[in-house]
Amino acid sequence: MPETKRPTSAAAEEILGGYFPVLDHGFVSLVDYMGSDEDVERAARVSYGYGTRKVSATRGLIRYLRRHAHTTPSEMVEFKFHCSMPIFVARQWIRHRTASVNELSARYSLMPLLFYEPEASSFALQSKVNNQGRQGQPAPTELYADAIGRWEQLRRGAADTYGWMIEEDVARELARIDLPLSTYTQWYWKIDLHNLLHFLRLRVDAHAQWEIQEFGRVMAGMLQRVAPLSYEAWLDYEVLGGRLTGADRQALGLLLEGGEDGVRARDGAGVSAEELKELGMSPREFREFLEKIVPGERPDFGLDLSQMKTAEQMAEDADAAIPVAGS
């Protein structure tokens, strides 16, 4: 086979086509990619030269581009993923309308009867401060056990009905209609680097639903292998960074004072409630402002290659869960 003339990444080639398990039955695989950090630089410079610049120069340009929101060069790099996730995760995922998607069709294919079951550590009560999320600590074990029992009863009924309809040769597009949102689906998902960075910024955030965070973390590890300099800039400016609003900058000015010897902490107390009201900031806005200025822990999205499986290994689970069609 002739050697490719396309730019490649040795770290990306190491995982290409490998499958990384996510949750209990899901996965993410990087099945293809086009370009790397060098292609972002070439697009920005509109240069046909390749491999002639120092890595430090490429890094400096990429960081400048991310810092100043010059995003078009990042659109020249693309990723193609094969993913499997519960339907409720897919419905959150598909809200990002900047990718090309081809999802498993239950009109044509038999659905593997695989259902997501949260572990006890991620089963929690509704948050009192976040209407979209759950509390940080697990729910009581007795409640978790009752929930598992109810889920299993519901899923047995749905699976039995689906399997019965398939055996009776009912149209697949009808047999599928009462499968629960916990059922696993899968798709091919192709997206450019710029939009992938936006997707990941939202989906690895602690405020995102935990299940989709798990997929985001694996994909961030794949991004790191394809475009490590873009990944580094994304971490610094978007994951660990935060954009200051006009009120944020005024609040920061109230916390600090300047002088001939530079900026230092303001003497005395912090910012009073009256001062916040004058800035137009609600208590929630001020809490969010404090989150922006308190240093965060640098996340590690590195992939554990010992977890990587082949396509055949991942297919075994799904194939065993497909009902037998009627004759």
How wide is the angle at C-alpha 238 spanned by C-alphas 6 and 11, nearest 5°? 30
Give yes or no for a contact between 158 and 179, defined as CB atoms under 8 angstroms apart: yes
Residues in the chain: 327
Mark out the alpha helices in the chain (DSSP H runs): 10-15, 37-45, 55-67, 87-93, 141-167, 172-175, 193-203, 210-226, 228-234, 246-255, 273-279, 283-293, 311-320
Give yes or no for a contact between 211 and 198, defined as CB atoms under 8 angstroms apart: no
How wide is the angle at C-alpha 133 spanned by C-alphas 129 and 138, nearest 5°? 95
Q: Which one from 42, 155, 172, 203 is the annotated catalytic residue?
A: 203
Structure tokens at 20: 């990384």
203 catalytic residue (yes or no) = yes
How wide is the angle at C-alpha 62 spanned by C-alphas 40 and 288, nearest 5°? 120
Q: Which residues are catalytic?
A: 203
